[in-house]
Structure formats: C-alpha cells, structure tokens
Structure 1
Amino acid sequence: MKKILYITTLNRTINAFLIPHIEKLIFDGNKVDCACSIDTQIDQNLTGKSVRFFHVPFTRNPFHPINLKAYKDLLKLQAKNNYDIVHVHTPIAALYGRLLKLKFPKLKTIYTVHGFHFYKGAPILNWGIYYPLEKMMANFTDTLITMNLEDYERAQRFNVKKVYKVNGVGVNLSSFNVNLFNKCEIRKKLKLREDDFVIIMIAEVNKNKNHKQMINAIEILHKKGINVKVICAGDGPLLEEIKKDIVGRGLDKNIQMLGTRSDINELITACDIGILMSYREGLPRNIMELMACKKPVIGTNIRGIRDLVVDGVNGFLVNVNDSRITAEKIEELINNRMLLEKLGSNAHEFIKNYDVDRVIENLVEVYV
C-alpha cells in the first residue's frame, strides 16, 4: 500500500476530472488524501471512501503571498502523514507541491500537465513566466504526464526522469450516449424545431474560449439567409457581455446562452454538431463527450483540439478567428447529411481509446 496525496489549486478540479482516478487507486489498496483550496462541495463518493480533504489556501495568482502559507501547510501535512507520492495538478499547486522535495528528497512527485501555459502562439508573457518556471521545476519532478503531442514533445526536453503521454483524464463513454435521451423531447424543452440545424458550444464564457468567432460565423450565415441554432452551456465573466452582443446583432433567436447546466448529455443529444473556438486547450473533455455521442466537431487548429479533431475525418479544423471558414464548414455540414453522419460515426470510433477506464489502466504504472 502506498500513501498518496493529490494536490490541486481548487477542489473543483478533483470533482470534475479526478474522482475515477482516485477511486481506482483506493480499489488497488492505496490510501489517498487531497490537499486543495476547498471552493465547492466535496464529492461524497470520496469522503465515503475515507479520503481526507485538507484545506490549503491556494490562489491562482502565482505571485500572491497566500500561496506561501499554502506551501507551509503542505510541509506540515507531509511531515505528519509521510506520503510516499504526491500527485500534483494545475500550475500553482504543481509548483508548491513539487517544492516539497526540497525538504523531503525521497518523496516521489508526479505532475499531470493539463496544458502548459506556454505553447505555439502563446503570448510572450506566458513564455517569459511559465516556461522558465516549468523548466526549473522539472528538477523536482520524477514523473511528468502530458495530454497532447505538443506538450509531450516539449516535456521530453526537460530534466524529468519519466515523461508519459496519456489520453487526457478520460471520459465515461457509457454516460455519454445519444440513445439515453429522446432528441425531439429535448428540442421541445429548448424551443427548437425538429428540422433545425443545431450546434452546441460547451465552454466557460471567457476570453480564451472565444465565443466571438462562433457568433461571427453565425452572423455570416444569418446574412446569407441560413438559419442556424446554437446553444451555449457555460457560465463565466463575459456572459452578460456576450448576451448583449448577441442581442445587438439581432441573433438572439439564433443563439441561446444557457449558463451553467448539469444536463450536458441531454443538450448534446439535441444537437447536430459541436463547436469549440478556443485560443488555448490542454485536451478538452467537452470534445470527447461530443464525440462519444457521435457528434462531429468544428474546432480551432490548436494544441489539444487537433489531438482530437482530425480534419475531414471526425470534424473540421479552422484557424483561430477565421469566422468565414468556420461559417463555410458549418454550411457544408448543413448541406451534406451523409458527410455529417460519417464524421459522427468516425468520431465515436475515434474516442473509444479515450474511455476513462482505459486511461486509468494506462496510468497505474506511473505509481510503481
């Protein structure tokens, strides 16, 4: 049995992505605890399995002095509980979690990269801050886990003992299935017609997710007399601004901003395709969920998205901010139902390798 401490900046990361991973470790006879800033309700599945959660006051600002308090708390936890392994996620928690090696050199450190903040096309500031930081912290990292090809190739140049590439955090394919719900009934709830062509965008409403590119594309189609419906699931700091923009362009009958939703599978079932126009991604699970439901995806040609979307095979890749080509790809799928179904079928076949059970099985060896 190994004693393992999962460290994340916020506990919502654990709720969203890591519960199946922790459950597998416990099933295999390990003891797992979690250290994070507790910002939302702790999942009862984990507390029921005797997983202890320790509140550590991390903040996402790398220069905020409260992170030093968090680091001191981690030092106390390690001294008291004598963990064999710390598995760190998210940049801030990963920084201070790995620094435990300064005082506990025999401690094994595993770092899962959900997407380096430095990448092809990233702002110079990102490269100036995060690249030298990660290069330095590689000296305190025993195992580094990446989720996309670009991060994997870059991580291999760091001074890390072992570098792995895995298929993200995985997606529960049995939970995402178009046969679980009635498409017509869901469309009625959303005030959509049976013959509407419907797109779904699952994303936090922030600058990175780039809703503007989607809106611009829909406006181009609208001016051509092509009636497309979009439903957007997600909250965020730009939600009200985006809503006003949609109304100002006269697209409020075309685009629905639904806010936070807990019925994502139902929403996906109601749609024809998915779309994601991000500037930056690690390996987006929302695309995996769409593909699990046999939905092709139009995504920007960036790291993470192009690891999942094979252009012309299970969806289309478009350049960031190229609204015209985005509109053309949507129109192509509207006019070619056979292609739509083929891409959807290919997407479903492709994503089988990303099933959460397969991903977790592949991760077991990193704890040896």
Structure 2
Amino acid sequence: MKILVGASHGPSMFNFRQDFIKEMVKKGHQVVCVSVEAKDLMEEDTKKLGASYESVGGSRTGTNLLENLVMFFNYVRVIRKTKPDICFFFMAKPIVFGGCAAIFCRIKHIYSFITGLETVFYNKGVKNCLIRNMLCLFYRFIFHYSEKCIFMNQDDYKSMRKRQLLKAGKEVFVNGSGVNTEYFRKTPVPDTPCVCMTARLVYGKGVEEYCSAASVLKKKYPQAEFLLVGGLDEHKDAILEEELISYLEEGAVTYCGRADDVRPYLKKCSIFVLPSYHEGNGRSIVEAMAAGRAIITTDAPGCRDTVIEGYNGFHVPVGDSPALAEKIGLLIENKGLRESMGEYSYLLCREKFEVSKINEILLNAMGL
C-alpha cells in the first residue's frame, strides 16, 4: 500500500517518527512524507528511511488565511500526485489542511494523531477563542471521516469528547511517539549534580520557571550545573532572544543552543527537568528516562504520565518555580536518590515507552 505521512515540521518527523516510517517500509509499503520544508532540504534524509518526500510549503504555526489556503491546495496537489491508499496526519495543521484535502480527494483511510492540544485550548483572549472554535469545527469534520484518532493521553481525549468532536470507539491510545532504547542508551549517572532541560524555547515549556529555580539553587549549590538545551522558535509564544539573554545574565544557567543530538547532554546530566504546561506525552522526558535519569516534571496532561511520584521522579505544580527548586534541591543533595530514581526511569521506559511497542499499536490500528 502507499501511505502518506503528513507532519507540521520535517526535522521533528524524522527525529520522532523515523522508526514508524522505517517499520512501514520494512513491511513493504511505499511511504510519502509531507511537511512544510522545501523538498531539497528533506529529500536526502527521507531517502535514508526508504521513503520519498513532498513539500506543501507554508509555516508550521502561522494563522495567515491565504497561506493556509495555499497549504490546503498544495496538499490536494500532493495527494493527487502520489495517490495514497492511506493518509496519516500528525499535529493540528496537517490534520486540518491535510485531512480536508484527503477528504476532498476521497481518500477512504484517514488517521489523525493528536500529539497534544494546541495552546489555544488553554490560553485566554478573543483571538485564542476564535481560533479554538474554528479548530474545533475542523476537528469535528475531519474526525468524522477519520477511521481512528490516536491520542497520547487521556486528558486530550476527554477534552475532545467533552466538546463532542469525535464519537466513542474511534480512539486509540499510545504512550507517546516512543523512544528507541538502542539509540538512547542507558548511561551511568555522574557523581556531580548536573541538571538539564531540553525543549523548544517557548513559554509553555516552563523555561522561565527553570531559569528562576536555577538562579536560586546556584547560590546554595555552586557545584551544581544547570543546562538549557533548545533553539529559539517561530511559535507565537516563543521566548525572544533578548528575553533569553536576560535569563542567562546571572550565569546560573548554561545555554547550550539547539542540538540535533541531545544524547551528550543526557549523558552529562544527573537530573532531568521539564516544567511544561502541557504535553502530548513528553518526548524529551522519555529520552531522559531511557538514559536512566531522575525526572522532575509538572502534574500537567502528558507530563504526569511519565513519572510515578517518588519512584522515578517528582511532579510539581505548573508555573511553580519555588516547588521546582525544592525538588531539584532534594535530588542535588541526595546522590543515592538520583541513582535509584534513574534506574526506575529506565525500567519504566522499557516497559511503557519502547518505540517498537508504540509502532505495533499504530500499525495494528491501521490494519497493517
């Protein structure tokens, strides 16, 4: 069969979905990857997976009406050109514009993967309300034609059901996108306390709370190191460069920039932190779990599912920098606890988040 896989960000698709794509290719299916990046930027990476690539242009986060209309017609063009049997879409814009294009082109087998609700579902304001209502209309329409809707957590599913966006029985649950434990290998926990956060630099990831906690803790534990790994983002809630500089002025946090490979930072750290406001299922957390690291995250949808309180880490309230600092300090002071929680993180990762288990669920849902 020919399968079209649409995502909003090409590099993320290859980082997080490459095992899924390779598994479909291994089973003898033709896979066409679609995203906004230009074809010449992505084609070589796609060929390495045994797939092909098509671009629909536009931006992954923009709300410009004309730009999004062009994206819809580009999806129609790509679908007519490639003639897929199945369309599988990740994230909001591919689900909306790719999904509408697939319905327009009468594709019978459509699958929608909700990797996390958009920020408009949580942010207030007239503009967010308008976008949220429009998005709900599109979701209701597309989910009606989707054979299955895949969710990473119960909270997102319940939110969709509460808004009557999909019928019961279409849902499939997976524990995130999965992590390849052959690639993200377990490494010894360093003796020196080193805290790491890897994330896109947007407010919703809790960057401000992390930097604030680090500023307090660095004075008490000067031997501890605090790493921030991640690039500046085009998202509307992105942290601006001048704001990032202000966070770093005190010298408590070491900014490592964007990293295509986070494994060296996971190897260096002994504590991993992600104080996010909401996740589909915190991929960066799961990568740190595979490396065998103690985790501190929030009691927010998609984050809470990665941590068993007191077993492999701790939950803190969203936006609570003092609570975050308290838990980080507890682990800085207790090397034995860092090591035991890191071991439990690894075991939990192998049990729940191994990519082969996730892909098996997805392929079964698609009848492949």
**Same fold judged by TM-score > 0.5?**
yes
| Partner Cα separation in structure 2 for residue 31 and residue 166 of structure 1 | 24
1:159 aligns with 2:160: no
Partner-residue secondary structure (3-state), 1:42: helix
Aligned residues: 352
C-alpha change, 1:343 and 1:320, in structure 2 (3 Å) is: same
Residue 194 (structure 2) aligns with: 198
1:20 corresponds in structure 2 to 19
Matched residue, 1:321: 319
Give, in whole Å, the separation in 1 of the partners of 2:134 and 2:156: 17
- d(CA) in 2 for partners of 1:257 and 1:170? 27
1:141 aligns with 2:146: yes
Contiguous gaps of at least 5 residues in structure 1: 185-194
Could you report, residue by residue, the CA deviation over 1:86-124 in whole angstroms, capped at 9, with x for unpaired residues? 111121111012113543445211011110126985436
TM-score, scaled relative to structure 1: 0.87
Matched residues in 2 for 1:232 and 1:86: separation?
36
Name the residue aligned to 2:54.
54
Aligned twin of 2:29: 30
The answer to whether 1:233 aligns with 2:241 is no
Structure 2 distance, partners of 1:50, 1:296, is 36
Equivalent position to 2:301, from 290, 300, 303: 303
How do 1:1-368 and structure 2 match up within 5 A?
A: 2-39=1-38, 41-42=41-42, 44=44, 46-48=46-48, 51-59=51-59, 60-117=61-118, 121-123=122-124, 125=128, 127-156=132-161, 157-160=164-167, 162-179=170-187, 196-224=192-220, 227-237=223-233, 238=239, 240-248=241-249, 250=250, 252=251, 254-352=252-350, 353-368=352-367
Assess if the C-alpha contact under 8 Å between 1:36 and 1:58 holds in 2: no
Could you tell me how far apart the structure 1 residues matched to 2:15 and 2:87 are? 19
Structure 2 Cα separation of the partners of residues 70 and 46 of structure 1: 21
SS at match of 1:158: coil
Q: CA deviation at 1:258?
A: 0.8
Change (3 A) 1:223 1:138: same
Q: 1:130 Cα deviation (Å)?
A: 3.2
Contact 1:3 1:83 survives alignment (8 Å): yes
AA at the equivalent of 2:166: N
Q: Distance in 2 between matches of 1:168 and 1:332?
A: 28
Q: By how many angstroms is 1:175 displaced?
A: 1.4
Distance 1:214 1:261, change over 3 A: same
- Against the structure 1 CA distance between its residues 336 and 85, is the aligned structure 2 distance closer, same or farther, given a 3 Å change threshold? same
SS of 2:204 mapped into structure 1: coil
- Structure 2: any 5+ residue segments left out of the alignment? 234-238
Instruction: Report the AA paired with residue 217 of structure 1.
Output: A
When residues 154 and 244 of structure 1 are mapped into structure 2, their CA distance, relative to the original with a 3 A threshold, is: closer
Q: Which letter maps to 1:68?
A: L
The aligned amino acid for 1:159 is L
SS in 1 for 2:116: coil
Alignment TM-score, normalising by the size of structure 2: 0.87
Q: Give yes or no for contact 2:174–2:361 (8 Å, CA) kept in 1.
A: yes
Equivalent pairs: percent with the same residue?
A: 23
Largest Rg, 1 or 2 = 1
CA contact (8 A) 1:311 1:317 kept: yes
Contact persistence 2:46–2:53 (CA under 8 A): no
Q: Equivalent residue of 2:309, what SS?
A: coil
Q: 1:242 to 1:82 in 2, by over 3 A?
A: same
Q: In the alignment, is the contact (CA less than 8 A) between 2:22 and 2:50 conserved in 1?
A: no
| Structure 2 contact 17–177 (Cα < 8 Å) conserved | yes
Could you tell which deviates more after superposition, 117-126 or 16-25? 117-126
Q: Which amino acid aligns with 2:165?
A: F
Query: Residues 192 and 270 of structure 2 are in contact (CA less than 8 Å); yes or no, is this contact kept in structure 1?
Result: no
Q: CA deviation at 1:82?
A: 2.8
Change beyond 3 A, Cα 1:343–1:48 = closer
Deviation at 1:65, TM superposition (A): 0.9
Q: Is the Cα contact below 8 Å between 2:186 and 2:346 reproduced in 1?
A: no
Name the amino acid aligned to 2:325.
A
What do the CA deviations read for 1:276-315 (whole angstroms, capped 9, x no partner)?
1222221121101111111011112211111112221211
